[in-house]
Amino acid sequence: MRIVVVGPTYPYKGGGAAHTTELAHRLRAAGHDVVIESWRAQYPSFLYPGQQTVDTPDGEPFPHVRRDLDWRRPDGWVRCGRRLRNADLVIFAVLSPVQVPPYLGILYGLRRRTKVVALCHNVLPHESKPYDAPLMKALLRRADVVLVHSERQAVLARELTPAPVRIAEMAPHLPPRSAERGPGEPESGERRSEEREPLGPGPGERRAGELEPKEDGFGGRGPVHDRLLFFGLVRPYKGLDLLIRALPEGVALRVAGEFWGGLDETKALIAELGLTDRVELRPGYVAAADVPGLFADVDALVLPYRSGTASQQVWFGHEHGVPVIATRVGTLGDHVTDGVDGLLVEPGSVEALRAALDGFYRPGEPERLRAGVKAVDPEPYWASYIEALVSP
């Protein structure tokens, strides 16, 4: 089929752009003629406070991309729709209700002989506004098919549209790891378990002062810390504040990612709790080449989300060989096998999270969970995902 995917791709960054790009590659590999209609200017800066574009792509760019869409040019939206009239299938990657007006302009130009799929990463935003539901309703009612990533999202979509709603679990769009491995090196978390230095004693033993001072990883010398990682875009629903409050004594935390507000409040919370020497902040976008270094010396990735839909983060942690401690929200609980390759905890509770972290650092537990980590096989996920998109 002649397929057009409308959505962000390089030089835009983030999970949405990565998914759009990988989707186009997969559709092309399945034999379809694919073009991405992307953006010259996607959002006004006040709606996207982080860094929107990057100079170096995180993965392989898709070769057939038009970058003509501009949020400031409704005439360009209609022209785009007219250009797509010869397509057999148009897929709108829906990341935010802010995209709805341009998408409606494209649909106006398309004049609807072409099949349209609304691929919703989130039917409604995590931090929603009063206008979000009316905008999404206007778009979804004009789609032939709505594709979502979970049953809960399907329930939301069915409240907004009579169109058929299909569910396909979000397929992995992880950066390729071939460049990070030497010849013949395996991918599993077991290799990293063997290569890493042994973990120190648990927090209780460390408090007894049994360790000699060593480099602490924060620019000075002090007690050796076990270390956890919080990685990715920092927004209120992701629960970083809960993790900081739940941090066990003697355990360090690295926070790496863009802050969508709240950086000063986070620094103030760290100072208030007396954790300045144990919480390392690396605010800002993390390029793909720098990601392996973030995971190289941590014991687990922690995802203390208050709410969530579909996420790549568990797979991302497992791909880098570390167990994941996550809350039971969205699809996070589907990707962690509790007690095998990570731990699951109820969302929104500092006490429950602290208990899970204390349990994680019981003697031998980090090593046991790390040995259970296996990298995800993306192929079955993508086969199902492509089928859900292109089937009649």
Q: Identify the pLDDT of residue 14.
A: 80
pLDDT tens for 297-328 read 999 999 999 987 777 889 989 999 999 999 99
The rounded distance, in Å, linking the Cα atoms of 321 and 315 is 10
Torsion of CA 171, 323, 291, 217, to 10 degrees: 170
Q: Identify the pLDDT of residue 56.
A: 77
Per DSSP bridges, beta strands 145-148 and 115-120 are parallel
pLDDT tens for 316-366 read 899 999 999 999 988 888 889 999 999 999 999 999 999 999 999 999 999
Q: Quick check: pTM over 0.85? A: no
DSSP state of 70: E
Q: 41 in the Ramachandran plot: left (φ > 0), alpha (ψ -120 to 50) or beta? A: beta
Q: 211: pLDDT confidence band, cut at 50, 70 and 90?
A: very low
Report CA-CA distances (Å) from 149 to 252, 311, 358.
34, 10, 32
pLDDT at 204 over 50: no
Q: Identify the pLDDT of residue 224.
A: 40
